[in-house]
A and B are shown apart, each in its own frame.
Chain A
């Protein structure tokens, strides 16, 4: 097979020129349904890159393509210069993958699981032994090697998953919803591991997530909605593109919200978006605007919040709808919405 391109890829990798992850109009459809629509972006060396999107946005599809488990219907994706569709084994050698589902064998010990993984990546003997000790120390479980996986807690199992993905010292680490089922403490630990990994070993990390808090940890983000890339940049950059503050006016119902939006658009020439019972406006000096609105249209506004823009605001700004309004995410929506109300906005 194309030995020259391989040789070139290896050469440019040695020169450190190769972009770790590159997507060029990657498109995927399952029959009629388009899951990914011409995605293009690159991920830089030693970057923590987040793929943020609600369920059904195409994250999982893209993750499957990058982990070589599926071939995109068109477009190309490369990891360390190797095409995921044409040179899957080259890609696999460079990439560590942590799946969302448990990939450990619960009937085997931690060390047996890691040994097995090492064997799949061609590691053997003393080198493998050393790597097992190294990765277990890396995830903070140096003394659990002999324990059966089924006896570990969920958080510890997650750490072993990470150790498993790191066994062959990959250049690129892909993680699918890594904090699923983790309590806040374990979640924080995970992000600390990822950051030290990036700093000390220069690993490029791609994380998919549907959690805004998690996305905030990333150096850069790609926000997906219905298979399209709707925003790309660092969390701070993306948020700064929104004008000033985000003001939300709660009203009694959808009619009132629409009415209020109309009134505000006429009076203040603002771009008011109706979101259910609420009207959302981006505005400099949000607190002044609140006073003006409440004085101008007394009785309609039932509640007000003024906040610095969040990533969700970026999402609303780019798509015109809420993050969790996507179809097919019904129960996830409830959970996430619950989390959101508790957090509130001020």
Chain B
């Protein structure tokens, strides 16, 4: 029997640790990533020739970033590394990738999907204006290219990334006009017992907020976004919110970073027909996995933020654990004490994840209050009103039906950025729980496939 063919999608914290575990056991995995370099989003590496030091790029996480990059460099010759490669589709035992215009099929015995997460977004009137970015995009622009999204920036939404990106902008010398959090402080207080599962991370978070205040940044919590102001030709010019007492506050700015924590990139798991379950705490559908990362489909393993939003440390542990599960399933012995330890780590991460959800809840109720004129699906320009009409007049109480009838989630992002909010709007308009609305079915390609692509070695 030849060596098992194992493909890892993603070279972030979980993908690199998964590859490392496989290499330790004598396997040479294929590692695929869309980026030019390893590191994923959180430990994204700057382009060659950029000289910013680790401390400047990654702050308190500099040591971890450096450790992960070093691990990858040591693995580099012992894996088949495919950078700038999009895993656009899959079938049982074959992953379809495209790289530099060449489409190829990678056969596999096991697939470890470490696909990470993207921003979770809630629409607000004006979020379709030029100058409005997701928090993740705002961070990538800074981390990769040392560019800010604007001269005067407002960050709005909720979640740890809100404060992290804002503080990174402040540290980089950008003018941050305000940090506007939809979560009230009381949520954070109630979440403290769970957040205390990782005291160091909690402390870092508190320090971030303190540093923002020290830098003179206006930080407001418990706000309700009213509008991102501006015009099509000028783009964003300001943000209006209401505070907990109903008073309105306005902030001038030329760019907005928006985000409400994250959502898992679970398209490959969906295409692979992995079972999903509704995670009530985060109000999103997530692939079902066992405690080691096995999906419901034999040979498909899921790890990191692509399946549970446990952050970078959790992703490192989950990646390694999934690889060890994969090895065990291939009949290769693994260290059981290590497995037990990793499981313990992940339990702690899970408790912290629950704490984060409590501290920074997805403001699902905001969907109900969105004016009819608000654009929900920016790709296809579908408004909240059109979506509500599809529910009330056309009977679309299921999200794929709503998609079929009014195009919501049908565009370039395939519902990544509007799907969750759209489901909340449908649920509210139909008067049913959001889990009954379902989730937008994953369809290939995972990301747009160039028509210019040439099939290498036969299309099938």
A and B assemble together = no
Binding site for A on B (CB under 8 A): none
